[in-house]
Chain A
Amino acid sequence: MSSRWKKVWADFWGNKTRTFLMILTIIAGTFAVGLNSNLGLLMNRDMDADFLSANPSEATLYVSPVDDDMLASLQEIDGVGEIEGRSDVTAQLLQDDGNKVVISFDGIKDPAELSVNTLKPANPSDTTLPTLNDKEVLLDRTAKSLGYEIGDMLSIELSNGKVRELRLAGYVHSVTTIPYAMMGQAQAFVNPETLEWMGGTADYYTKLNLSVAENATDQQHVSNVTQAVSDRFEKAGGTTYFILIFNPGHHFAWDVTQGVIVVLGVLGWMTVALSAFLVVNTIVSLMSQHSKQIGIMKAIGADTRQIMVMYTTLIFFFGVVAFIVSVPLSSFLGGVVLDGMAGWLNFDTGAFTIFPKTVIQQAAVAFIIPLLAALLPMWNTVRITVREALSDYGLGNSGVKQAKKQTKDSRVLSRPVRISIRNTFRRKMRLALTLSTLVLAGAIFVAVMNLFGTFDQTMRDVEKYFLADINISFDRAYRYEKVAGIVEAVPGVESVEGWMMLGGEIISADETTANELALVAPPADSTLIEPILTEGRWLMPGDENAIVIGNHLLSVRPDLKVGDTIKLNILERESEWKIVGVYNIPGNVIPPLVYVNYEYVSHLINSPGDVYSLRIITSEDDPAIVAAIGQQLQTLLDEKQIQVSNIELAAEWRLQQTQQTDVLVYFMLVMAILTAIVGGLGLMSTMSINTLERTREIGVMRAIGASNFDIQKIVLVEGLFIGLLSWTGGILLSAPITSALVYGVGLAIFKTPLQFTFGVQGIVTWLAITLGLAILASALPARRASRLTVRDTLAYE
């Protein structure tokens, strides 16, 4: 190896701290891009691959009983790929601790012979599915968290209060089922005979799973084929109660994950930008330290090109190490995160793969971006003349311009503090780069914290529609006086409201099409709903055919507005309603909800005084106490033989919802912390360079009496001052980033832009982090500076 390459190697290996910081900086960007790219590619590959391998249905029709002949007839309709009938029963799983879990049973003849929404072994390495005999049950594997072992007997309470014992024959993987942890409802499979024994039907189907022959992801096409099936069925005398089409052709979490991948991708590239800033800063300092060496090399015959190639190679070395570390690390962690996501979203993962696309991106980030970032500072320095490089007698100006006027004495700040503040601004380009890194890091961090706050606010907005502490749903209508009387007798129950919920359709003006919707009917004087109105007004006592529609209905019927009269089909009876208001609720609501007065609609369907659910306010807010009250209510209603389909606690609902958004926030927080680390590295690098550059000044200050503490204070205060400047800038920049993040994530996850929330928590947390980073980043250079002797510093070359 020639001596010039030995110099390059010595520059690389000789200053291990600088090399480590430089490589770490490049790793941050390369790793972030690699992790996000790997995760995105793995998710897109595995989630849909597993989903599509189950021949998923794009639509589900809930219908009056269908026999095999009718099913065969529906199969012949143009556009239908496969149509499979199933009967189902919803019951409650009685757990040993007294809790009840909603469980839905699908009747299937043979788990291995399904044509739509097929089942797979719970363990991907198994090749056969468990068999299903009489009085046996298969559970979807996401319900494993309930703790049942194969062979255990499951106690199932039917809606009529009877209890059936089923043996757990095994777990299966039903990729088309929404996981238990998300739905709060377990999915189970029994054979038709067992389903009949549990109150279902073995000879007919009540649910049709429809898979279209082509264009599975085309919502309109799926909707048309489904409507054709429904029309044929109704023409033959059947009734379609409800049609469910959700994100056809894709896993249920597809949209959400696409949004998350995009947002994480943006954050990843922001980390690359930060990393590039830091590379510039480090290279500027490296070149500044090496300017004398460059001068000497030029003096002994090196030309600019030769020196440029040497430093380019050095940068390339940094990139090589960062690349070698980042590629396996991001692949490995991508796999780990994918496994976590797969467990959470219920899909099987494929073989471990290193994606060429990711590797190319990482190569670009590791090799090209640092080179591009370093090019200008390198070029500027290698062009230095020998005279400029070697003429540094005295203390130099180190960025201090000729004073135009005498600086005024400050009565507020001590002289050392003023030195720190002046030092901050001596190298303006370096300061700008350091501030850019820290400001961007801070802005991302605060924006992610704001997103956290926005999710919280969104949950609170959603909760405004469900203000009760406990919601009890019944399998059939009950007289309000009867069930309210039972419930009010339980200690801790403060107030009760009886609500009604009905399925219906909104008929188009030309009466050719109809859209599914659900009518929610609270009492006119309800205190358990605080809607967010975007137009018009809420329901008032005395309103008769008044209706308040929401953003979800408007997305399918954008022509509707306040003052319009619409025609609804409720329980096969048409009625006219006047739109008095429009509300907004975030999230996916299928079918769209509309609100009407309980008093009017209950008369309309000839069921005045009947309710389908009770909404209860308790006197205590403690979730444990509310859960205990829920337990008592369950026991009491069971004793009175009231058929409860579900008791839902507000706290549990909130936990389920936040679990979904928390994963996203934690991901983003990881990215934000990564940017904070890069920002901290930037500050540390700047402080080290600043201190090194001022070694002689430090020597002079020591010679005229500065103590260790004085020197350390000057360096620390400078670091803190830079930190505080960046904190201010970070807060300002976080506003547009928060706005973009909230908008993008809102559309991706909640299907609606979320309300911009700017919280204090993020600002204060980032202040603490900034000050901590500044102290950490300055402490080492400060200590180093204070340990220099006068002789060392003044002899410094």
Chain B
Amino acid sequence: MLTLPFTKNGKKPAESNGYPLISLRGVDKLYKTAVGDFPALVNVDLDIKAGEFVSVIGKSGSGKTTLLNMVTGIDRPSAGEVWVNETAVHELGENKMARWRGINLGIVFQFFQLLPMLSVIENIMLPMDFCKTFPKNERKDRALALLEQMELADHAYKLPTALSGGQQQRVAIARGLANDPPVIIADEPTGNLDSKTAERVFGLFNELVAQGKTIIIVTHDNEMAKRASRVALIADGEIVSDKPNGVKA
């Protein structure tokens, strides 16, 4: 069982109080292309409560990643509102957004996106350095503790390229947890991994949810998506199905 080390101020992650932790209201996203406007999201409404594990599934080009980008503030809606942890994400400026994102969201990318010139442990310490969420003298211990949780402590001082894909993805998850954010967002976190390793990563996510984290993942793998507590199906920029797991669409 994964237990999170050094949670901020000794508090437990946010608990559901009946209000959604993440809320999208009437979100549209239009991309301008050479052949005209392309609607990536159309009037999307989505509420996610604290402690939920949500899978967003859909075909390639359906708008999955765009939806995640709305939540993370990586992209801005053409219309509508995005609220995360009582913050109006759609109103944040780029600089405030970066700091807010570092503290409130842990992002895990399909291609891991670890900085190649930094060792594994330095990659994990980097968000803490930027956001100063933990005292300087605690950062290394916290990073090591996270690596131990990921069963990667032996690789702490290696460069990412020396690790396998699965190991790199677990480092990326550890990095996502570095600032102890309430929300973890993962875009195709298992898309680059073999099934056994993907299984392990999902196991980690489940443990994190059990610890009280809210997780949203985008995946094209319907079988994996079923491991989440809730599955949202997106097609042509619209959420066409949003049900707890086990309920047929």
Contacts and interface: CB of A to CB of B under 8 A. Distances in A.
B130 A385 contact: no
Nearest to B127: A300
Contacts of A299: 72, 74, 101, 107, 109, 113
A727 B10 CA distance: 68
Contacts of B176: 300
Given A303-B98, A304-B95, A3 B111 contact: no
Question: Secondary structure of the B side of the interface?
Answer: helix
B95 A300 contact: no
A395 to B, nearest CB: 16
A390 interface: yes
Interface size range on B against A: 20 to 34
B175 A300 contact: yes
Interface string A722-757: 000000000000000000000000000000000000
A383 B94 contact: yes
A293 B115 contact: yes
B118 A7 contact: yes
Given A2-B125, A300-B130, A306-B130, A7 B117 contact: yes
A6 B179 contact: no
A298 interface: yes
A787 interface: no
A303 B123 contact: no
Interface string B56-100: 000000000000010010110000000000000000001110110
Contact of B75 (A292, A387, A402): A387
A11 interface: yes
B52 interface: no
Contacts of B122: 3, 6-7
A301 B130 contact: yes
Interface string B122-154: 110111011100001001000000000000000
B94 A301 contact: no
A301 B133 CA distance: 10
A3 B143 CA distance: 11
B74 A4 contact: no
A300 B111 contact: no
Interface string A314-354: 00000000000000000000000000000000000000000
A7 B94 contact: no
A113 interface: no
A745 B74 CA distance: 60
A11 B117 contact: yes
A301 B74 contact: no
Contacts of B99: 301, 303
B158 to A, nearest CB: 14
A302 interface: yes
Contact of B111 (A301, A385, A797): A797
A784 B102 CA distance: 38
Contacts of A386: 72, 74
A4 B113 contact: no
Given A2-B136, A386-B74, A301 B118 contact: no
A302 to B, nearest CB: 4
Nearest to B69: A387
A308 to B, nearest CB: 11
Contact of B126 (A300, A303, A383): A300
Interface in A622-673: none
Contacts of B75: 385, 387
A296 interface: yes
- Among B94, B102, B107, B129, which residue has the most Cβ atoms of chain A within 10 A? B129
B102 A301 contact: yes
B103 interface: yes
Interface in A1-60: 2-4, 6-7, 10-11, 14
B92 to A, nearest CB: 12
Nearest to B131: A301
A154 interface: no
B192 to A, nearest CB: 11
B34 interface: yes
A794 to B, nearest CB: 13
Interface in A217-242: none
Interface string A379-418: 0000101110010000000000010000000000000000
Given A2-B136, A10-B118, A297 B94 contact: no
A297 B94 CA distance: 13
A3 B118 contact: yes
Contact of A385 (B74, B115, B126, B136): B74
Given A300-B175, A385-B74, A402-B34, A3 B123 contact: yes
Contacts of A6: 118, 122
Contacts of A304: 94-95, 98
Contacts of A296: 109, 113, 115
A4 B124 CA distance: 11
B102 to A, nearest CB: 2
Contact of A302 (B98, B113, B175): B98
A385 B102 contact: no
A3 B94 contact: no
A366 B98 CA distance: 33
Contacts of A573: none
9 contacts: A2-B136, A3-B125, A6-B118, A7-B118, A301-B99, A303-B98, A385-B74, A385-B94, A797-B111
Given A2-B139, A11-B117, A383-B94, 11 more contacts: A3-B129, A4-B130, A7-B115, A7-B122, A298-B98, A300-B102, A301-B179, A303-B99, A303-B130, A385-B75, A402-B34
Interface of B: 34, 69, 72, 74-75, 94-96, 98-99, 101-103, 107, 109, 111, 113, 115, 117-118, 122-123, 125-127, 129-131, 136, 139, 175-176, 178-179
Q: Please list the 9 inter-chain residue pairs (A to B) with the smallest Cβ-Cβ separation, ordered nearest first.
A: A301-B102, A10-B117, A3-B122, A300-B127, A301-B131, A3-B125, A302-B130, A301-B130, A386-B74
